[in-house]
Amino acid sequence: MQSSSRRAFLVGRRTERSPWETFLARLRRAAQGAVHDFSTEAGSARLVPGHMQDVYHARSLCVEHGVTLALDGMPSAARLDDGPVLWIEPGAAMARCERLGPDDPRWFVQPGCLIGDLEQAGLPQFRDQPPHLTVAAWLADRRGCDWDRGDTASSGLAHALVLLADGTQANLGAFGVDNRKPLDNLRVQGMIPRLFELASAPGTDGARDDALWNGRYRLDALRPLDGRTINLAHLLLGHGGELGWVEWLVFDERAGAPSERPYEQRYGRRPGTGDAAGDTDLAVRALFDPDGVFPEQGQQF
């Protein structure tokens, strides 16, 4: 019988894996989709999920290994060079787009569906939007979702199922006397009172005579224009990939309307956005992602 030292001499000693290599090895074993390592010093890779279970596994591994989970394909995405990052690109395996029924004006849409397909389907809010973007990237893009203050209903977004940093699936949709479904989720139930407090806090609105929304997160969705219904899904409009991972969305083709401003001229930190608004942004992010699983700043602006 050969001794262990003899075997080691014959086959060579195994090089110990780095934490990043261990993370990638575990991800490749767990995921059915494709994983590509960019071989950067800090650690960077892309996952194209084969199904939603791949994203669940990726989130769990990112939490365990201290890796940032970032949405790939978003316009003006931040570089995220400070630490290891896993970019997830929703591809063809997560690209369903279909009516909920033969005569139903609502559409079930997965995150990998392309904006061009939604425009061709006749949803007006996607007119003049970059057709190559996935709907997940569009939803995260602050320029693409830059409707006027209180007018988030023009997005036509009716409902969203989002995976939060702690693994909770949050159903976000219309919220009011006739619709209390979000309260069925204990995680969201704990967030709602604080979100309404932040939406009413001094400095949240910026300049009241300015129709543009100044914050990073659309708290104005909780203070909609007269006649509009509060919808918690609208908090995700322009979220920069910083609040969660969207599993699927429902759009109502009757409610959608394109922004009147050219895409290139939308969103930017505008006068009236002071320290109070910045503190509010941080507080919103802390409610959704207290442990920093998603990027702190997913877009460059």
The enclosing domain of 216 has a CATH number of: 3.30.465.10
Is the domain of 40 the same as that of 99?
Answer: no
Q: 119: domain range?
A: 95-288
Mean pLDDT taken over the chain: 87
User: Token match 């995150």: residue?
Assistant: 111
- pLDDT band for position 210 (50/70/90)? low
267 in a structural domain? yes
Q: Residues 6 or more apart from 16 whose CB is under 8 A from it?
A: none
What are the CA-CA distances from residue 290 to residues 166, 231, 244 (Å)? 9, 23, 11
Is the domain of 201 the same as that of 176?
Answer: yes
Instruction: Say what percent of the chain tops pLDDT 70.
Output: 84
Is the domain of 33 the same as that of 121?
Answer: no
pLDDT at 236: 97
298 in a structural domain? no
Decide which of 88, 115, 137 is a domain's last residue: 88
pLDDT at 211: 75
Decide which of 69, 88, 107 is a domain's last residue: 88
Calculate mean pLDDT across residues 276-296: 91
Which one is predicted more confidently, 264 or 221? 221
Evaluate whether 182 touches 232 at the Cβ level (below 8 Å). Answer: yes
Least Cα distance to 149 among 252, 281, 259 occurs for 259
Evaluate whether 97 touches 120 at the Cβ level (below 8 Å). Answer: no
Residue 265's CB is within 10 A of a number of other CB atoms, namely 10
170 in a structural domain? yes
For the ranges 60-74, 134-148, 168-182, which has the lowest average pLDDT?
Answer: 168-182
Is the domain of 84 the same as that of 68?
Answer: yes
For the ranges 61-65, 132-136, 248-252, 253-257, which has the lowest average pLDDT?
Answer: 253-257
Is the domain of 9 the same as that of 55?
Answer: yes
Evaluate whether 23 touches 42 at the Cβ level (below 8 Å). Answer: no
Is the domain of 274 the same as that of 125?
Answer: yes
Decide which of 54, 88, 122 is a domain's last residue: 88
Strand partners, 70: 87
Instruction: Say what percent of the chain tops pLDDT 90.
Output: 65
How many domains does the structure of the chain reveal?
Answer: 2
Token pair recorded at residue 253: 């083709």
Q: Report the CATH number that the domain containing residue 46 is assigned in CATH.
A: 3.30.43
Using the predicted structure, report yes or no on whether residue 243 has a pLDDT greater than 70. Answer: yes
Is the domain of 70 the same as that of 107?
Answer: no
- pLDDT band for position 2 (50/70/90)? low
Least Cα distance to 99 among 126, 80, 112, 118 occurs for 118
The full 3-state SS of the chain, as one line of letters, equals CCCHHHHHHHHCCCCCCCHHHHHHHHHHHHCCCEEEECCCCCCEEEEECCCHHHHHHHHHHHHHHCCEEEECCCCCECCCCCCCEEEECCCHHHCCEEECCCCCCEEEECCCCEHHHHHHCCCHHHCCCCCCCEHHHHHHCCCCCCCCCCCHHHHCEEEEEEECCCCCEEEEEECECCECHHHHCHHHHHHHHHHHHHHCCCCCCCCCCCCCCCCCCCHHHHCCCCCCCCEHHHHHCCCCCCCCEEEEEEEECCCCCCCCCCHHHCCCCCCCCCHHHHHHHHHHHHHHCCCCCCCCCCECC
Is the domain of 181 the same as that of 281?
Answer: yes
Calculate mean pLDDT across residues 264-274: 55
Which one is predicted more confidently, 270 or 39? 39
pLDDT at 208: 46
